[in-house]
């Protein structure tokens, strides 16, 4: 592989993480030694993060957990900038590189010794009386759910314009393969290899036994029409962006033209991550 050139790095740091200042300072010194400019932007794990303007850069480094990575993916949408996701959280499924491995993986990237892989994202649009009132992007999932679990949400599901079914329950998760191990998994949905391009449609606590999770092709357009409701509904993108939807709204979710780019840590393999992070297949202590 050919060597890569990096002139400017943007560091997106979750300021709530312990020792984040020291870790960012050491990494900036590392970059300075290579003649690479760097800028640090703090993230507060709030909706205000989505308004941060990212300067021009060749590479972004995310310091935090998986939630920090999701925010970075949305901020960099359409920029074609790879993310080196460093885990400073308690789980770290998407953020697969540890602080101790950071400099090694960075050098491997510069030397062309590791790959950049892309992950599918979803675009969501809400129309009210035929006019767009909300749009966003998600790396993990889009969820439509009842605010009060004492009452059921009602959702009419269409796939590529064809009516599928009327759903009653707590709501619906529409997830990417990356998001298959997040809320979708907790709600009984399937695990998909993150390298796949597909869309998971997973009802949350459906009222009928006949409704099961469904995996459709990446080109499928998922549309939800909201009939008369007995409860308030909310739409959530990647768990951090919430919009109130109401009767008559139409919600369209489909594959985004943009993709999230990540620098691969060659020390991590999909099945190993499932085994170590999620205790996949269990074991004597599971």
Residue with token string 């990237």: 109
Report pLDDT digits (tens) over 114-127: 999 999 999 999 99
Do 67 and 100 fall within a single domain?
A: yes
Q: Which residues constitute the domain of residue 21?
A: 8-115+264-278
As to burial, measured by CB atoms within 10 angstroms (0-12 exposed, 13-18 middle, 19+ buried), residue 16 is: middle
State how many domains the chain has: 2
Do 200 and 238 fall within a single domain?
A: yes
Catalytic residue (one of 49, 66, 238, 249):
66
Confirm if 249 and 123 have CB atoms less than 8 A apart. no
Average confidence (pLDDT) over 22-27: 96
Given a cut of 80, whether residue 111 has pLDDT beyond it is: yes
pLDDT confidence of 50, banded at 50, 70, 90? confident
Q: Domain of 25: which CATH number? A: 3.40.50.10330
Query: How far apart (Å, rounded) are the C-alpha atoms in residues 277 and 187?
Result: 18
**Least confident range of 154-158, 170-174, 240-244:** 240-244
Query: How far apart (Å, rounded) are the C-alpha atoms in residues 226 and 139?
Result: 24
Do 168 and 182 fall within a single domain?
A: yes
Given a cut of 60, whether residue 286 has pLDDT beyond it is: no
Do 44 and 91 fall within a single domain?
A: yes
> Does the active-site annotation cover 66?
yes
Given a cut of 90, whether residue 281 has pLDDT beyond it is: no
Percent of the chain with pLDDT over 70: 96
Do 134 and 252 fall within a single domain?
A: yes
Query: How far apart (Å, rounded) are the C-alpha atoms in residues 55 and 161?
Result: 40
**Least confident range of 105-119, 172-186, 230-244:** 230-244
Average confidence (pLDDT) over 77-91: 88
């Amino acid at each position: 592989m050919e060597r890569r050139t990096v002139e400017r790095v943007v560091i997106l740091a979750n300021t709530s993480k312990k020792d984040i200042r020291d870790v960012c300072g050491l990494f900036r010194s590392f970059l300075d030694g290579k003649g690479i400019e760097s800028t640090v932007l703090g993230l507060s794990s709030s909706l205000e993060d989505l308004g941060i303007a990212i300067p021009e850069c060749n590479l972004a480094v995310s310091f935090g957990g998986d939630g920090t990575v999701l925010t970075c993916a949305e901020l960099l949408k359409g920029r074609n900038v790879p993310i080196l996701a460093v885990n400073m959280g308690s789980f770290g499924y998407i953020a697969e590189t540890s602080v101790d491995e950071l400099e090694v993986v960075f050098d491997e990237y510069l030397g062309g010794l590791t790959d950049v892989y892309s992950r599918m994202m979803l675009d969501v649009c809400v129309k009210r009386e035929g006019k767009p009132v909300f749009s966003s992007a998600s790396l993990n999932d889009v969820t439509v759910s009842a605010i009060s679990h004492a009452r059921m949400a009602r959702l009419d599901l269409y796939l590529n314009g064809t009516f599928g079914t009327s759903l009653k329950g707590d709501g619906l998760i529409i997830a990417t393969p990356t998001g298959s191990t997040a809320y979708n998994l907790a709600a009984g949905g399937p695990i998909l290899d993150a390298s796949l391009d597909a869309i998971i449609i997973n009802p949350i606590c459906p009222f009928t036994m006949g409704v099961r999770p469904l995996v459709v092709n990446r080109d499928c357009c998922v549309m939800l029409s909201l009939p008369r409701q007995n409860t308030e509904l909310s739409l959530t993108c990647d768990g951090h962006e919430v919009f109130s939807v109401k009767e008559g709204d139409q919600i369209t979710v489909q594959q985004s033209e943009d993709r999230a780019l990540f620098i691969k840590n060659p020390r991590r393999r999909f099945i190993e991550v499932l085994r170590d992070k999620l205790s996949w297949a269990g074991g004597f202590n599971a």
